[in-house]
C-alpha cells in the first residue's frame, strides 16, 4: 500500500502533519504546551501572549453547545517571557508558533522586538482579531481597521525579519477580503490564519433566561462547527486574492477528517483545531489524522498537493 503523506510546508516551515492546535485552546500552561509537543499535532501554537501575565475575564467565560462554542476569555496568558522560556527549555522537535496579541500597537512592537531576539521561534502568529477585551470595548479589532493594519505592518517589517503570519477575523464582504489581501500582498507575510472566532455572538439559556457567559453582558466570540462555512469562504477568497507564496492556515469548525479535507480543498496548507480540541482533548489529533488519511486513501490522493485549492464550481 502506498504511503499517504499529510505533511505540509508553510512557506519553508515544515510540518510532518498539516493538523495543529489553534491558539487559545489548551495551550497556555507548561503542562498544556508539553502535551501538544508530545502529541501528533503538526506544530505547537501558544496562547496569544502579552508583555505581562493576565488573568483574563471573570468566569463563566466559555460555553459549548452541540453546534459551537462562545468565549470571552479576555486573553488570559502567562506573559511572553514564560513562552520564550518554555521554548528555550523544551526545544520542541516540531515548529513552534508564538502567538502575540498586544493590547496596543506599541505593545505589539515590544512583543515582536522581544520575539526577534529568540533564536528558536519558527514564526510569530500576530493576532489581529481578539474579540473579547473589556479594556478595548470602544475600539474595533485591528483586523477590521485597514488603514491601521497597513501602517502597523509597514513599521514592523522595517525591523522584524523572521517569518510572521497574521491571524485574521472573519470578513463577510468580498470587498473587505480583497482590500485586506491587497494590503498583505505588499509585505513579506509568511502565512495568514483565517478565521478567529466570529465576534460578538450571543447564546442564551432559555430555562434561566440568562446569557451563558458573564463578561461583556454575555457577548463573545463564536467558534466550532457552526462557523465552518465562514471559515471556508474566507480561506477560499484569500487563496484567490493573496500572493501565491503566502500560505493559508485554516481555522474554524474542524471536527472531522472531512472538515480538514474541505479546508485544504479551499486552499489551506494546514488547519488548526480549537473548539473540538477543547471538547475532546489531545486524542483529537490522532483521530483527525486517521480520518483524513482514510479520505485521501479512498480518493486515491497521496499528498495534500494533489488537491489543495482545487475546488470546482458546479
Query: Quick one: 56 or 163, whose CB is closer to ligand RRO?
Result: 56
Between CA 44 and CA 312 the distance in angstroms is 32
Pick the catalytic residue from 130, 194, 251, 266.
Answer: 130
Residues of span 100-129 touching ligand RRO by CB under 6 A: 101, 127, 129
Rounded to 5 degrees, φ, ψ at 124 are: -95, 135
Whole-number minimum distance, CB 22 to ligand RRO, in Å? 9
Instruction: Considering only the stretches 7-15, 73-81, 259-267, 302-310, report the one whose residues sit in contact with ligand RRO under the rule CB under 6 A.
Output: 73-81
Omega into 195 within 30° of 0, i.e. cis?
A: yes
Q: Is 48 in the site for ligand RRO (CB under 6 A)?
A: yes
* Residue selected from 74, 95, 267, 309 as contacting ligand RRO according to rule CB under 6 A: 74
**Catalytic (active site) residue 130:** yes
DSSP for residue 25: S
- Contacts made by residues 243-246, CB under 8 angstroms, sequence distance 24+: 243/184, 243/185, 245/11, 246/11, 246/184, 246/185, 246/189, 246/190, 246/191, 246/192
Q: Report the distance separating Cα 239 and Cα 241, nearest Å.
A: 6
Length of the chain measured in residues = 314
Q: Which of 10, 45, 73, 304 touches ligand RRO by CB under 6 A?
A: 73
If binding is defined by CB under 6 A, does position 75 make contact with ligand RRO? yes
**Residues facing 97 on adjacent strands:** 45, 123
Among 197, 225, 269, 276, binds ligand RRO (CB under 6 A): 197
Our CB check for ligand RRO shows the closer of 74 and 257 to be 74
State the Cα angle at 88 between 84 and 94, rounded to 5°.
Answer: 95
Is 276 a binding residue for ligand RRO by CB under 6 A? The answer is no
Nearest one of 184, 174, 148, 166 to 99, comparing CA atoms: 166
Q: Which residue of 6, 10, 18, 24 would you call a contact of ligand RRO, by CB under 6 A?
A: 24
Residues 213-252 that bind ligand RRO (CB under 6 A): 221
- Residues contributing to the site for ligand RRO (CB under 6 A): 24, 48, 71-75, 101, 127, 129-132, 196-197, 221
Which residues form the catalytic set?
130
Amino acid at each position: 500500500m502506498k504511503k499517504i503523506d499529510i505533511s505540509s510546508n508553510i512557506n519553508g516551515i515544515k510540518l510532518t502533519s498539516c493538523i495543529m492546535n489553534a491558539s487559545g485552546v489548551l495551550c497556555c500552561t507548561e503542562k498544556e504546551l508539553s502535551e501538544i509537543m508530545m502529541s501528533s499535532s503538526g506544530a505547537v501554537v501558544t496562547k496569544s501572549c502579552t508583555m505581562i501575565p493576565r488573568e483574563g475575564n471573570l468566569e463563566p467565560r466559555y460555553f459549548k453547545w452541540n453546534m459551537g462554542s462562545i468565549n470571552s476569555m479576555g486573553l488570559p496568558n502567562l506573559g511572553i517571557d514564560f513562552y520564550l522560556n518554555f521554548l528555550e527549555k523544551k526545544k520542541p522537535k516540531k515548529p513552534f508558533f508564538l502567538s502575540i496579541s498586544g493590547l496596543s500597537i506599541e505593545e505589539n512592537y515590544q512583543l515582536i522586538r522581544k520575539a526577534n531576539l529568540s533564536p528558536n521561534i519558527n514564526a510569530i502568529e500576530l493576532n489581529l482579531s481578539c474579540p473579547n477585551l473589556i479594556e478595548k470595548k470602544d475600539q474595533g479589532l485591528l483586523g477590521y481597521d485597514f488603514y491601521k493594519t497597513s501602517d502597523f505592518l509597514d513599521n514592523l517589517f522595517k525591523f522584524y525579519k523572521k517569518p510572521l503570519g497574521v491571524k485574521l477575523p472573519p470578513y463577510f464582504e468580498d470587498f473587505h477580503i480583497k482590500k485586506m489581501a491587497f494590503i498583505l500582498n505588499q509585505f513579506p507575510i509568511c502565512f495568514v490564519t483565517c478565521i478567529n472566532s466570529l465576534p460578538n455572538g450571543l447564546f442564551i439559556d432559555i430555562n434561566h433566561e440568562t446569557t451563558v457567559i458573564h463578561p461583556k453582558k454575555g457577548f463573545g466570540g463564536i467558534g466550532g462547527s457552526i462557523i465552518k462555512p465562514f471559515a471556508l469562504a474566507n480561506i477560499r477568497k484569500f487563496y484567490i486574492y493573496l500572493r501565491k507564496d503566502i500560505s493559508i492556515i485554516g481555522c474554524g469548525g474542524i471536527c472531522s477528517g472531512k472538515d480538514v479535507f474541505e479546508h485544504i480543498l479551499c486552499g489551506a496548507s494546514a488547519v488548526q483545531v480549537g473548539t473540538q480540541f477543547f471538547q475532546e482533548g489531545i486524542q483529537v489529533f490522532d483521530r483527525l489524522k486517521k480520518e483524513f488519511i482514510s479520505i485521501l486513501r479512498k480518493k486515491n490522493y497521496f499528498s495534500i498537493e494533489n488537491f489543495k485549492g482545487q475546488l470546482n464550481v458546479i
